[in-house]
Structure 1
Amino acid sequence: MAGFAFKSTKTLRWALGLSLGVNLLVLGLVAGAVYRFDGPHGGAMRHMRDYGTPYVVALPEERRRAVFADARKGREDKSVSRAARRALYQEALTAIRAEPFDPAEARRVLDLQRDATLTVQQTVQNAWLSELAEMSAPERAAYADRVEEMLKRGKKGKRDGAKPPKAGQ
């Protein structure tokens, strides 16, 4: 931490704890969404809608399925497998409980979690961009209109039972 000094160990621990909490929250949200896509909880679209991802939800059904299929293929990297990401939580807990506390070890685990999250995000992003690249200009314009509508609807769309478009819409 060149150029930045904490005035006390208590402040350092508080800052690291806060950083860990925020990182774990973000990782948990992303990992939970990924788990739901092909986990035992049911249909991927229901969970995508709950997670609030308008870019994917607004895609026509066949293109959404293609994004999910590409994302699953891209997750063959064992370093970001569900089991590997769960193991990182155990490493984080070990680092948190360690006495004396080693901020460098906690940072190492957080960095690994961040990298795994970014890898999953990049995989989905690449699959999504691939689908957009295959669309014609009118299809992309209609798609952009659906995304815009979903953004305007916000949470209200969840309450009124709105569903993503079917194939060809």
Structure 2
Amino acid sequence: MTEPTQAKPRTRRGIKIALGLSLAVNLLILGAVGGAMLNGRPDGSIRDRMDLVRTLGLGPLGRALDREDRSQIVARVGQDRAQLQAEREALLAATLAFVTAVEADPFDREATAAALAQQRDHVRGLQERGHGALMEQLERMSPAARAEFAARLRQSLERRRDDRR
């Protein structure tokens, strides 16, 4: 004989939906508050400096710099905030033009390529600006500071290479 099994009480579907919506709203509020705390000027928190360092195309080079060197690069590049902001906005506009071209039906390869080339030109301009500021900073650093920078960069690159194996 088999013993009768007790059915587990089922949670009502409405309660599950309410809990899911509550979680979604809480995450939305948390994201908005976190984003507001991290947002600011390029010379603001370290998060903001790293955002500008990435915009300037320095990537791992910028991460290998110590905090003071990174701050000096950001200050140097940020001296003309209006032009920097205009370059960032132009890059955004070029990227949005690319998206619009990709969405077009029928697909226009030439328009898409032109929008992509415009985006590339803005990225190249920002990267040249960042590389110029990096070169100025490297010239001002002592040989010991440059060696420390190179060691941090090498360690970071080797760690990334090892992670990909």
TM-score tier (shorter)? 0.5 to 0.7
Question: Greater Rg, structure 1 or structure 2?
Answer: 2
**C-alpha distance 87-45 of structure 1, shift in aligned 2 (>3 A):** closer
| 2:100 equivalent to 1:94 | yes
**C-alpha distance 106-41 of structure 1, shift in aligned 2 (>3 A):** farther
Shift >6 Å, 4+ stretches: 39-42
CA distance in 2, matches of 1:74, 1:151: 32
CA distance in 2, matches of 1:64, 1:42: 9
Instruction: Using structure 2 for the length normalisation, give the TM-score.
Output: 0.55
- C-alpha contact (below 8 Å) 1:75/1:81 kept by paired residues: no
1:38 to 42, 49, 63: 42
Matches within 5 A, 1:62-141: 62-73=68-79, 76-77=82-83, 81-141=87-147
- Deviation sequence 1:11-54 (CA, Å, 0-9, x none): xxxxxxxxxxxxxxxxxxxxxxxx998399962356669x9933
- C-alpha contact (below 8 Å) 1:67/1:131 kept by paired residues: yes
Given residue 57 of structure 1, which amino acid in structure 2 is its aligned partner? R
More helix by share: 2
Instruction: Give structure 2 stretches of 5+ with no counterpart.
Output: 1-38
- C-alpha contact (below 8 Å) 2:58/2:131 kept by paired residues: no
CA distance in 2, matches of 1:36, 1:42: 10
- Deviation sequence 1:104-127 (CA, Å, 0-9, x none): 111111100000111111111111
**C-alpha distance 38-108 of structure 1, shift in aligned 2 (>3 A):** same
Instruction: Give structure 1 stretches of 5+ with no counterpart.
Output: 1-34, 157-169
- C-alpha contact (below 8 Å) 2:49/2:71 kept by paired residues: no
Question: May I ask how many residue pairs the two structures share in their alignment?
Answer: 122
**C-alpha distance 81-125 of structure 1, shift in aligned 2 (>3 A):** same
Percent identity at matched positions? 26
- Deviation sequence 1:59-90 (CA, Å, 0-9, x none): 22221101112233466447953322222233
- C-alpha contact (below 8 Å) 1:91/1:109 kept by paired residues: yes
